[in-house]
Amino acid sequence: MQNPTVAAFEQMMARLENGAAAVAAISSTIFALVRPGDRIACIEHVYPDAYRLFEQMLRPWGVEITYHPMTGFESDPDLLNGVRPAYLESPNSMMMQVMDLRRTAEHAKRHGTLTVVDNSWATPVFQ
């Protein structure tokens, strides 16, 4: 089901860029990075539209999604072992918690895991 606000935003972006269509950033990024059989480690309390994308489109497509608390990404150096992308939010959409992205990125690099960070609520200045 299409969110009317997202649809209006995509149409506006397509007009601004003189394009035929636009796709929301979350879905286009994730679809470019994963294939069936991959695993995504996602922060818990994720943005509801991202959750629906993961559960309604990616899981049936054969992508495994696991959800973890922010502290798991920061403190467990092996959480990202075997993960294709880690999908993170900082601050988190539901709880407005800020992650230690530096620590999480260190863990990700150790395992060759890509990190995707949605920072919709704050600019890098406030991160």
Mean pLDDT split into 10-residue runs, the chain, 127 residues: 71 71 74 95 90 93 97 96 95 85 96 90 71
User: Closest by alpha carbon to 83, among 59, 58, 57, 65?
Assistant: 65
Pairing between β-strand 85-89 and β-strand 64-68 as defined by DSSP bridges = unpaired
Give the pLDDT of residue 10.
72
Asked if 34 and 84 count as a contact pair (C-beta separation under 8 A), the reply is yes
Give the pLDDT of residue 55.
95
Q: Find where tokens 């990075």 sit.
A: 33
Asked if 46 and 67 count as a contact pair (C-beta separation under 8 A), the reply is yes
Domains of the chain, start order:
25-118 (3.40.640.10)
pTM of structure: 0.80
